[in-house]
Amino acid sequence: MASSRLCIHIALLSFAAIAPAAAQTAPADPAAATAPAVPATVRHLDYGVRFGPSFTTLTSVDTIDVEAAAAAFEPTLNFGGFMTIGLAGPWSFQPEVLFAAKGQRIRDKDARPVITITGEPKLPAADRVILVRYLEFPLLLRLTKRTHENTSVFLIGGPAYAFRRNAVIREVIDSGKREDIADLVNGSSLSYIAGAGLQHRRWLVDARITKGMRNIASDPTPAAVKASAFSVLMGARF
């Protein structure tokens, strides 16, 4: 009988010791344990490089060279880098830095027409180029729509600030023959960019129009000079 009472006392004491420990170590609600934590707002950041051709024009060439007439657009090559910073929803901010150039092919105003093989007169091809090289900083808003798992289309738009690196009139055939015209061109420029593009995985391409908003000639006589371009830029994210 005494041994039975001893066993009961031992059992009670054991339960009294184990029960609080069990209460302290009991797992929380399984659903709560497995539920993922609510993530904090994260702004996605991408960066990479881009390059591509640009077809550029100037609104007035005789402001720069009184003896010149516009003959054709000037093809140039842009290259640089970009960064994409995620904002709310499909919106993001895309600053870029580009080595860019804008200009116009020209010929003399009094150039005589040449006779083609068909016997028709035709103005001669351009023999010189007005070329202004810039370090350009487009500050673009980007609106993206995902079309497939790894593919999306986007619209871009915003201002571009540019700082002149040099300005010359050079010959088309011999680019080494040039005249410095930095004193005729302002040191900075402002343009507006609008375009659309496609991104697949790490690769992207966009087509954009750049419209000059500010006169770039130091003396806008007889007319203001504004630079415009149509560009196709390809790129890759790192």
Query: pLDDT by residue (tens digit) across 95-137?
Result: 999 999 999 999 999 988 888 888 888 889 999 999 999 999 9
What is the pTM (predicted TM-score) of this model? 0.79
Sequence-ordered list of residues with C-beta below 8 angstroms from that of 50, at least 6 positions apart, any chain: 79, 80, 81, 82, 96, 98, 204, 233, 234, 235, 236
Q: Are 228 and 101 in contact (CB under 8 A)?
A: no
Sign of CA dihedral 82, 86, 88, 89: positive
The hierarchical CATH code for the domain 43-237 is 2.40.160.20
Considering only CA atoms, which of 83, 71, 194 is closest in space to residue 129?
71
Within 10 Å of residue 180's Cβ, how many Cβ atoms? 11
pLDDT over 50 (residue 38): no
Q: How far apart are CA 102 and CA 131, in angstroms?
A: 6
With the CA atoms of 126, 131, 136 and 139 taken in that order, what torsion angle do they form, in degrees rounded to the nearest 10?
-40
To 10 degrees, the CA torsion angle through 166, 172, 177, 179? -40
- The residue to which tokens 């499909």 are assigned: 90
> Does pLDDT of 63 surpass 60?
yes
Mean predicted confidence (pLDDT) in 47-61? 97
Task: Check residue 182 and report its DSSP letter.
Answer: G
CA 34 to chain centre: 42
Residue-averaged pLDDT of the chain? 87
At residue 154, the pLDDT reads 98
Block residue for tokens 């000639």: 217
Q: Is the pLDDT of residue 29 over 80?
A: no
pLDDT of residue 43: 58
Task: Tell me the C-alpha distance between 219 and 114, whole Å.
Answer: 34
Q: How confident is the model at residue 193 (pLDDT cuts 50, 70, 90)?
A: very high
